[in-house]
Structure 1
C-alpha cells in the first residue's frame, strides 16, 4: 500500500515523535495508518486533496 511504502522510507523515530501530526485523506487510509500503530490526528471530511488540505488547515485555526 502507499501508506506502508511511505512509512518504509522515513525514520521510525520521526513517525513516533509527538511533534508530528498525521492527516488522512479518508477512512481506508486512516485504517492502514492505525494498523501500523500511527495515530491519525485529522481525517478529511471530503476525501479529496482539497478536503485533506481543508482538514489540515482546520487543525491550525
Structure 2
C-alpha cells in the first residue's frame, strides 16, 4: 500500500480518521491475501484476491 496515495485520497475526500483506519485495515487484508496467493499454497489457490473497490464502497 502506498501511504502517499492514501494521504492524497484523505485530503481529496476529507475522510474521517475512522474511515481511513478502515481503509488501512482493508489494504492490509488485501496484501495478506495477495501474499498467500503468491505462495501457491493449495488451500489459498482457489481464493481470488480482493480488490480495493469493496473497501471503498463502504464510503
TM-score, normalization by structure 2: 0.30
Higher CA-based Rg:
2
Normalized per residue, the structure richer in helix is: 2
